[in-house]
Chains A and B, each alone.
Chain A
Amino acid sequence: DQQVKQNSPSLSVQEGRISILNCDYTNSMFDYFLWYKKYPAEGPTFLISISSIKDKNEDGRFTVFLNKSAKHLSLHIVPSQPGDSAVYFCAASRGSQGNLIFGKGTKLSVKP
């Protein structure tokens, strides 16, 4: 069973507009959530994270929102840039162990 789900395999956005990537999870014990970006043939790069005690975390153009009651989080990128084109992975963990459970990823294409 998939504990972290990214239901949109791909997303296409115009440069300058907002990109919204979504992620759902099933395990209510998860208490820490992260987003990673991955270019082809490279390892994932950490983008932003959020603890379950918060509902929003912002870092520059990137904002993550957490809705615990819906077991849903989203990553907003504003404004989107062509260099943001990559696969975005949502990940979740519980406790302090660092064993991350990843979704299958969403491929974002930002068109000039």
Chain B
Amino acid sequence: DTGVSQDPRHKITKRGQNVTFRCDPISEHNRLYWYRQTLGQGPEFLTYFQNEAQLEKSRLLSDRFSAERPKGSFSTLEIQRTEQGDSAMYLCASSRTDSGNTIYFGEGSWLTVV
């Protein structure tokens, strides 16, 4: 499978705990994106990387959220001190710089904060 891979697919956590999601992009895709989707809404942009550089962050990305892409390959998204409002699907996507703005999504990581 050469698509975008996300892990874990589902996570249930207690409020106040930290969670981390991992994303492995499509090989040779130098851009990597994180989006969040809640029920009844379209995906909302959180942040993106070109290689290892984080080039843009949405104001949706509060101080409790941090994303890294240390070697320009896989990425992690960590949420600290989770709140019930963090419950959502977290989507990772990737693209190549020369492929325009078409991005390819993974299957998402569901987060439920109880």
Identify which of B40, B41, B103 contacts A100 (C-beta below 8 A).
B103
Q: Are B100 and A96 in contact, with the CB atoms below 8 A?
A: yes
For the complex, count residues of B whose C-beta is within 8 A of A. 27
Q: Are B105 and A105 in contact, with the CB atoms below 8 A?
A: no
Q: Provide the bound-state CA to CA distance between A41 and B101, in Å.
A: 24
Identify which of B4, B40, B42 contacts A102 (C-beta below 8 A).
B42
Report chain B residues within 8 Å CB of A41: 107-108, 110
Q: Which of B43-51, B62-70, B75-83 contacts A (4 or more CB under 8 A)?
A: B43-51
Report chain B residues within 8 Å CB of A13: none
Name the distance in Å between B88's Cβ and chain A's nearest Cβ: 13
For the complex, count residues of A whose C-beta is within 8 A of B. 25
Name the distance in Å between B78's Cβ and chain A's nearest Cβ: 20
Nearest-CB residue, chain A, relative to B46: A99
Query: Count of A-B contacts with CB under 8 A?
Result: 66
| Interface mask (A37-56 → B, CB under 8 Å = 1, otherwise 0) | 00001111110010100000
Q: Provide the bound-state CA to CA distance between A44 and B93, in Å.
A: 10
Name the distance in Å between A50's Cβ and chain B's nearest Cβ: 11
B84 within 8 A of A: no
Q: Are A49 and B48 in contact, with the CB atoms below 8 A?
A: no
Report chain B residues within 8 Å CB of A34: 101-102
Nearest-CB residue, chain B, relative to A39: B107
Measured CB to CB, the residues of A under 8 A from B are 4, 32, 34, 36, 41-46, 49, 51, 89, 91, 93, 96-105
**21 CB < 8 A contacts A-B:** A4-B42, A34-B102, A36-B105, A41-B110, A42-B108, A43-B4, A43-B6, A43-B107, A44-B43, A44-B105, A45-B105, A93-B101, A96-B97, A97-B56, A98-B48, A98-B101, A98-B103, A99-B33, A99-B48, A102-B42, A103-B42
